[in-house]
Chain A
Amino acid sequence: METVEFWERIRIPDYTDPEQVRHGTIGIDHETCQGCFLCQAVCPASAITRGEGRPLFVAGSSECIFCGNCAAICPVGAINLIDPYRYRGRFATIGHCDPQKPRR
């Protein structure tokens, strides 16, 4: 099993440093997007904002938790879940591998 080493375990990460607290990343395809803003309404992290007629996701300045609500509610499938969150130090993300859809 994975572990978090002692010195990592006792370190509280700097919440302003994207190296230590890296939030999730999604991609919005503005070609496909119809501007319904449902994704913005269901985002638990206010990570999607209103641009001009289109929702905006600014990687690095949002606090995406990679829940997938935006991708699930998008009526035209314009949202891709790109990169999961990763935290360091006390909250080190361990035992997380690449995202996959439900497998049978």
Chain B
Amino acid sequence: MSGKSTIEDISRDWTETERVILSRRSVRNFKQEQVPEFMVRRVLEAGRFAPSAGNCQPWRFVVLRDRQLIDELTETVVRRCRIIRAMVDYRRPRFQWLRPLANLLIRLKPNDLHPVPFGAISLIGQGRLGLYHGAPTVIMIFKDRRGISNPDLDCGIAGQNMALAAHSMGLGTCWVGFTKLAFLYASRWKERLGVRYPYRFASSLAVGWPVGRPDGMVPRQTHPVDWYENGTQITIT
């Protein structure tokens, strides 16, 4: 923040940084035009300067800017989604009998098969939902699993730094966790990208120029916050 803003200025209006945070949307419709290389480097710098447990910096970034490579990766993930959909999507007519198996898998992998990703896997498998949405650049974040405390969290912090830096330049980003399906069950992509111990896929970000003007402040659910002060407790929302 510039040293000039007074507390009164701040109370009157959002800061530049808050605007970037509050207007950031996950962009799912990118122009084909490539992002300038210097911008991607700057985005990576924002990731490099993220806080991490004990300053352990447990991340390794991989930038994909080859259309063909991104397409092939997409194809792998779509294929995996198609297989998972065939196994678990009991919502399809005449597939009710899959429900016991689906419920067992949901129980085993509740975070991956929550109703939302369950629906998304099905849509991706059917080709009705894109993965990188035409983004010309994909930044993959791999975690050093020997990291202090919780390396996934540190990778998330670094990633969000990058998403916000990108947004501040007018770029759009979208977190794409489904990329992990390319690294599970088969080693082809690990070999292709040279992913070895101690690195493991954490998440990925699609980066590109958005189509239209997707940024804006929209309503979002509020959440209760417990507030302790002066020996009393209140809950605000």
Binding site for B on A (CB under 8 A): 1-2, 12-13, 15-16, 21, 36, 38, 41-46, 63, 65-69, 71-73, 75, 81, 84-85, 87, 90-91, 95-102, 104
Contacts and interface: CB of A to CB of B under 8 A. Distances in A.
Contacts of B220: 68, 99-101
B218 interface: yes
Contact of A45 (B29, B114, B120, B219): B120
A18 to B, nearest CB: 11
A42 B226 contact: no
Interface string B75-97: 00000000000000011000000
B116 A65 contact: yes
B218 A84 contact: no
Contacts of B26: 44, 67, 69
Contact of A2 (B25, B107, B224): B224
A44 B221 contact: no
A27 to B, nearest CB: 13
Contact of A38 (B29, B215, B221): B29
B211 interface: yes
A34 to B, nearest CB: 12
Given A87-B115, A95-B224, A101-B218, 12 more contacts: A1-B224, A36-B212, A44-B129, A46-B128, A72-B216, A73-B214, A87-B114, A97-B222, A97-B224, A98-B221, A99-B220, A102-B14
Question: Interface residue tally of chain B, by bracket?
Answer: 35 or more
A96 to B, nearest CB: 4
Contact of B217 (A12, A73, A102): A102
B171 to A, nearest CB: 15
Interface string B98-126: 00000100110010001110111001000
B182 interface: no
Given A12-B103, A63-B116, A101 B217 contact: yes
A1 B226 contact: yes
B63 interface: no
A75 B214 CA distance: 9
Contact of A16 (B91, B214, B219): B91
25 contacts: A1-B224, A12-B106, A15-B91, A15-B118, A21-B115, A38-B29, A44-B129, A45-B116, A45-B120, A45-B129, A63-B119, A66-B221, A69-B25, A71-B218, A71-B219, A72-B218, A81-B218, A81-B219, A91-B115, A95-B224, A96-B221, A98-B221, A100-B222, A104-B11, A104-B14
Nearest to A81: B219
